[in-house]
Structure 1
Amino acid sequence: SVGCDNVATLNLTVNNSTASTDNVGVHCDSYTWVDGVAYTASNNTATWITTNAAGCDNVATLNLTVNNSTTSTDPQTACNSYTWLDGNTYTTSNNTATWITTNAAGCDNVATLNLTIESITLSATVNNIDCYEYSTGTIDLIVIGGTPPYTYQWSNGESTQNIVDLPVGNYTVVVYDMNNCLGSNTFSVLQPDSIYIALISTPDTCERGLGMVSINTYGGQSPYTYLWSSGHDTSCVSNLYEGIVEVVIIDANQCKVTKTITINNIKSPEADFNTFPEHRRYYDQLDKPFFFIDISNTYWQDILSWNWDFDYDGISPIYDANDSIVKNSYYETGLYRVFLSIETEYHCIDTISKHVLIDEYALYIPNAFTPLTGDGLNDEFKPYGYGVVNYTMQIYNRWGEVVFESDDINRGWNGTTRDGGNIASIGVYLYYIAVEDIYGEIFKYEGKLDLLR
């Protein structure tokens, strides 16, 4: 301060900065150092300055080795399921499952599963059989999954995708794809029940077309169609006569069944009766009537009614009695037609008629006649009667000469001579008449007659 030198002496201490290397070693994928930086690659240049013990800088240099993790994909294809190295069994495709191992650099190796599960699913459109015991079933197979092409193994030996002409049954198929994965399934081909019928038939009765058939149809596929040989088209037919009738039954699937039915017949009764007797004298039958006894053959049918007409006119019977045994007397001679109508429990009717003869022998001989008078009255001499079988007549004049003869009771003497050319004289003549009656009896008559004018 006074202008003189001041000698200052330096008292200096120099401290040195320091340097260091931070050998952090080997790390995988990344490393965050003290500088807060995440290093993803090896590095030996990064530095970090701190203060050393002398108060100077300490420059630390990073010595880092970074090794990378690796990834890999494990592609697998399996049928239905696959057990991976992680011990899990996968039944569906998977590309997310991972498994970590250590790679050659000592880092993680992440293996990702790329799994394809080939599952073959089989379905089918089954067309069942239309008609019982036919072979018309089909199976149209549908394959889902797997890798084409496919091969087919059917339980019936077929090797195509679709199979046809199948009878009823179960059919199993195994399908293999190109990776030899397989799928299998069983399909059933069904059939309808057989068409069968329950029928009720009634016979014809007395050939009147009263037969009937009623059918109940089961099985197959309704509705049903009926085709009868008789022309009917319903399940119940009537008005059938004895014989064979055939029906074809067709269901909704056009399946057919044919049935032949025999229509029997309750045979018609055969009306008949005995007459005791068939021929009787008029006066005898008044005391002892005719008996009529039914002997009809009804073929095990019972008779409900008998109806008798003792004088049938051949057109409209008028019934006189209604029992199985009847009797009757007649009040005039003649040939009578006896009519019997029977009706059985099945309402079958049959009729029959027979004749009875009521007769008597009688002969009336006049004692005079007036021929050739031109009045047309009493012009012939002849007897009148009934019951005559054989007859002969001779006319004699007073001298015993035969002037007329005849063997026909309806041919009389007309008053002329035997040669037919002369008129006989008025007077008394003799007659001789011989008669055999219907009973075989012989009668002879002799007498006088007057020829008058």
Structure 2
Amino acid sequence: MMKTLTALLAVTLLNNPITAQDISLGNPSIEGPPKAGNVPYPWIRAFESPDTQPGYYGISLPASNGKTYAGFILGKRWEEGIFQQLPTPMKAGSYYQVSFDLAFPPKYDTLTLCTGTLAIYGSNSTTEKGDMLWQSGTFNHESWTRYTASFRPEKEYAYILFVPYLPPSCGAKQFTGALIDNISSKLAQVPELRFEQQPTCKGKSTGAIKVIPTGGQPPYSYHWQHGPSTSHLKGLSEGAYTVTVNSANGTSVSRTVNVDAYTLNAKAVPKEPLCHGDANGSLALKPLNGIAPYLYGLGNEVIFQGDSIFSSLRAGTYTFGVADAVGCEMRARTILPEPASLELKNVKLHHVSCTETMDGHIILHISGGTPPYAYSLNHGQWQTDSSFGRLDAGQYQIKVKDQHNCAVAGEVNIIRYIRECAVFMPNAFSPNGDGVNDVFRAKVHDDVHDFRLAVYNRWGELVFESREPESGWDGTFKGQPANTEVYAWVLTYTDSRQQARKQTGSVTLIR
């Protein structure tokens, strides 16, 4: 996915721009008396014996500039070249250009040369080559041809060295060589180029490129492969654009910049209404790419505005749009959800058990809304427990609210059973699955607590135990149907008068 773009993207194609520094070269045309085995000042012979030509070892080519030039050869065990100490060392990270004329001598003295080559090295001693900065590649032209070498030293070097090299196309016992003349008068620093690039909207021409040169020597001139001779191009479509920047020191550099195309994308972040049916939701539109600043719109007929948040919305499906600074637009649809309607899903009532108690009970089951919920009975205090107990018979107003104060209300009626307060136990049950008398349990007509029902077989084994009045024995023991027989039971509890009670008896299991 394309990253979010600022109004202009800066793209540095050459790193570490350095302040301009042209380095002069002494005697660039290598002028001096022709001499075998040496070169004129300030040039220094490198390793073996370069020659000041023409006139020696069968070399008669006239100089391309002035009267003399240098010639040298290289073999596996023989190496010649020329050094010069620079008045100012080459700086690490600077980008330099130097031009010169080269020619190939097919024969040098008694040697037949394999090909012509030249390499440039940066060094800090005349006893070693140092680090290679540039190679010519092989050449076989016997007349002078102009070359321009561009290089960026990784370290600072006090000397520059011109020397042939042995390419893979030559055998180990062969020689290469070169004639060199008319070297430019300086190592000219090449401009560093930084580009500010604005991508284009897909299918449109909204891109832009601005080239910012540093280093070299201003003023600069610009030549685009397609476009005007300015530092800034606008209205560009997707594609590659090549510019050549010429410096006043005679150097030039060409670079290609891609104008990328993008399709504007944005998302809608919903904030749902607080309650079902409310009109207080919102949509926040967030661009995922494109060029700021943006405009935003909502609705089938999008009218753009600067505010990215649309409020006071009901739940539903909405069309939204975003436009960026260069007119790239997008449309999409999104859904603004809402919470489910808050509902009293179920109300469980426990009526007052008997004439002398007050054990009515209400348990509320809620769905929808936004938890947590709060509950109130007869306009009393709010509580987090959905259960209300110790109630007398009567009409009760219930109210529930959620986290956002969405509310639902209802009314229930608790009745009192007019009967003796007691606990009764059946004397038989038939767990055959017919839905009638399938479970052995207490019939509690009282407000009891500390309840325990235990059932034993004829050998005194405990086959069932419960501490909840609503829970009963289903006629199984250790996961298997219990035998048809008579079982003893013991029931203990505390009644509504706070008296401890114990009842015993027997029950027949019938199948």
Normalising TM by the smaller chain, what interval?
Answer: 0.3 to 0.5
User: Which structure would you say has the larger Rg?
Assistant: 1
